[in-house]
Chain A
Amino acid sequence: DIQMTQSPASLSASLGETVTIECLASEDIYSNLAWYQQKPGKSPQLLIYYANSLNDGVPSRFSGSGSGTQYSLKINSLQSEDVSIYFCQQNYDSPYTFGAGTKLELK
């Protein structure tokens, strides 16, 4: 199975700040990488697919980048509603494994 190492595990940032979350795959996943946001008590929601494509309705302050084994999610101008847990997932090879998640809080 492809292992997804996500960092940091938790992150504290101020409103308006820019934050970056990283995901490292154990092998090349050829940009088959998705990012999800999960708020407490809710289902995960797709933010980014194919590493850098923004899902419909997702604010443009979210962006994804990366290739090969290294990927990142960037949130510009942090808003209060961005407080969530973020997960990456590789969808290159089954089982489509997830990162352990990053808990984003407000400072």
Chain B
Amino acid sequence: QVQLQQSGAELAKPGSSVKISCKASGYTFTSYYISWIKQTTGQGLEYIGYINTGSGGTNYNEKFKGKATLTVDKSSSTAFMQLSSLTPDDSAVYYCARGTGYNPLAYWGQGTLVTVSS
């Protein structure tokens, strides 16, 4: 069965970076894009961007350009999102999900809680 397994919770200091992983299984990794979504209590769900798992090509929400960097490792069927120059506003649950515009997000990871605090 299709599964997306995300890395564990992160506690980070302001100004630092974190890298979240999303390991896919149960399907051909390069057949579907991976999207990333931010969820906060106040802002709801925000679409960060997606990565073409075959080519590594990316598309970012303008709001997250310079904040998020999406990469993939095809050999391990894993997608990554690095968040840089962290501030308390980056504290949220981050999800990876399989799909993008033409393939709705039918499978989601369990979420990774990122807490930014000094």
Q: Which A positions have Cβ atoms within 8 angstroms of B?
A: 1, 32, 34, 36, 43-46, 49-50, 55, 87, 89, 91-101
Contacts and interface: CB of A to CB of B under 8 A. Distances in A.
A7 to B, nearest CB: 14
Contacts of B50: 94
B104 A49 contact: yes
B46 A91 contact: no
State the main secondary structure of chain B at its contact with A: strand
B47 A97 contact: yes
Interface residues of B, number: 22
Interface in B63-90: 63
Contacts of B45: 44, 87, 89, 98, 101
Contact of B61 (A32, A45, A95): A95
A98 B47 contact: yes
Given A43-B110, A44-B108, A92 B44 contact: no
Interface string B42-70: 00111101100000000101110000000
Interface of B: 35, 44-47, 49-50, 59, 61-63, 95, 100-102, 104-106, 108-111
Contact of B101 (A1, A44, A55, A96): A96
Given A43-B111, A98-B44, A101-B44, A91 B102 contact: yes
A53 to B, nearest CB: 9
A94 B61 contact: yes
Contacts of A98: 44-47
A44 to B, nearest CB: 6
A64 B61 CA distance: 27
Nearest to A93: B101
B70 to A, nearest CB: 13
